[in-house]
Amino acid sequence: RPSIGVITAVAPVHLESGQFKDIHDIAREKGELVARLPREGVAILNDDDPLVRGMQTSARVIRYGTALSADLRATDIETTTRQLRFTVHYKNESAPFDVPVLGTFQLYVLLPAIAVGVSLGLTLEQCAKALFQFHLPVGRMTPIDGLNKSHLIDSSYNASPVSMTAALQLLAELKSGRKIAALGTMNELGETSHEAHLTLGKQAASVAKLLIIVGPEAATIKKGALDAGMPENQIYTFFDSEEAGHFLAKELQPKDLVLIKGSQNRVRMERLTKLIMAHPEQAPELLCRQDKEWEKI
């Protein structure tokens, strides 16, 4: 049995028929993970997520986040097109971190890892040194050179309402030329799917100057963007990601910044990314789902 348990978030996913009935049902199921930790174990919980913060355990608890109530806290947060900088405070120790990942939301990947480190006796300085060379798995906000001197942010591995919101916030934060959002349908949202895709369209309209939409819910995302006031001539819908990729390849201009994100099954936005990469021969190293088995699907 594990002696350390980490809960990063509770998000509205896996809500199709036969899965979870609502987000509180998901929270109860995840809560079982830390409830069953031994008393001498450690529960590492996201203090910024109310559903995680309220989880009960007999183990020692380390809460991480940005609020003053967190045991392990991040301050002085700064994001650029190549890295995330922040300072971590734990007990009487503090240290600066410079990690080559994109987006403020990546704190919720890094802080629990740091909490695991200190729970096992590492210093914050040791954690900072280790994360200085850290790289996320492919398909999770990977910076890639695009055609015609454009810049790509490839987050094609998967998507949910929470991760879509975070990715669009990053697109809004970064300084660039024209901002383009190439977004795919989010799967397994059950009864919340229609409203979630409407909201996604509205969020994209507030950030992007060009919106490329792929998948079964493309029309719903488009409606959300139109409702938010985005001109129809800036929105393009496609059923297939490769068709969308061929279209976008002809549209890219120097200094364009393109966010690519969508779910896995029936969407596969990495196929779009490959078609607009400056160096598509690097796809096996930079993109997800590039092995021969995935090519058959």
Residue-wise pLDDT tens digits, 129-162: 999 999 889 999 999 999 999 999 999 999 999 8
Residue that has been written with the tokens 């028929």 in this structure = 17
Yes or no: say if 31 and 23 are a contact pair by the CB < 8 Å rule: no
Residue 52 — very low, low, confident or very high, per pLDDT cuts 50/70/90? very high
Q: How confident is the model at residue 74 (pLDDT cuts 50, 70, 90)?
A: very high
Using the predicted structure, report yes or no on whether residue 81 has a pLDDT greater than 80.
no
Task: Give the list of residues 6+ apart from residue 65 with CB closer than 8 angstroms, or none.
Answer: 46, 47, 48, 72, 73, 74, 111
Task: Return the pLDDT at 36.
Answer: 95
Residue 238 has pLDDT above 80, yes or no: yes
Predicted confidence at residue 236, as pLDDT, reads 98
Residue 11 is predicted with a pLDDT of 83
Band (pLDDT 50/70/90 cuts) for residue 231 is very high
Q: How many whole angstroms separate alpha carbon 31 and alpha carbon 29?
A: 5
15 band by pLDDT with thresholds 50, 70 and 90:
confident
Torsion angle of the four alpha carbons 119, 125, 126, 130, in this order, in degrees rounded to the nearest 10: 110
State the pTM of this model: 0.76
Confidence of residue 1 (pLDDT cuts 50, 70, 90): confident
Better pLDDT: 175 or 88: 88
pLDDT at 287: 96
Q: Is the pLDDT of residue 297 over 80?
A: no
What are the pLDDT digits (tens) for 184-195? Answer: 999 989 889 999
DSSP the chain: --SEEEE----S---STTS-SSHHHHHHHHHHHHHTS-TTSEEEEETTSHHHHT---SSEEEEEESSTT-SEEEEEEEE-SS-EEEEEEETTEEEEEEES---GGGHHHHHHHHHHHHHTT--HHHHHHHHTT--PPTTSSEEEEBGGG-EEEEETT---HHHHHHHHHHHHHS--SSEEEEEEPPPS-GGGHHHHHHHHHHHHHTT-SEEEEESTTHHHHHHHHHHTT--GGGEEEESSHHHHHHHHHHH--TT-EEEEE--TTTT-THHHHHHHBS-GGGHHHHSSS-SHHHHT-
| Per-residue pLDDT tens over the stretch 271-295 | 999 999 999 999 999 999 998 888 7
What is the rounded distance in angstroms from the CA atom of residue 180 to the CA atom of residue 85? 25
**Structure confidence at residue 296 (pLDDT):** 77
List the structure tokens of 77.
Answer: 């947060």
pLDDT of the residue at 266: 84
Pair 57, 34: CB distance under 8 Å: yes
Per-residue pLDDT, averaged over 19-30, amounts to 89
The pair of structure tokens assigned to 280 is: 């598509």
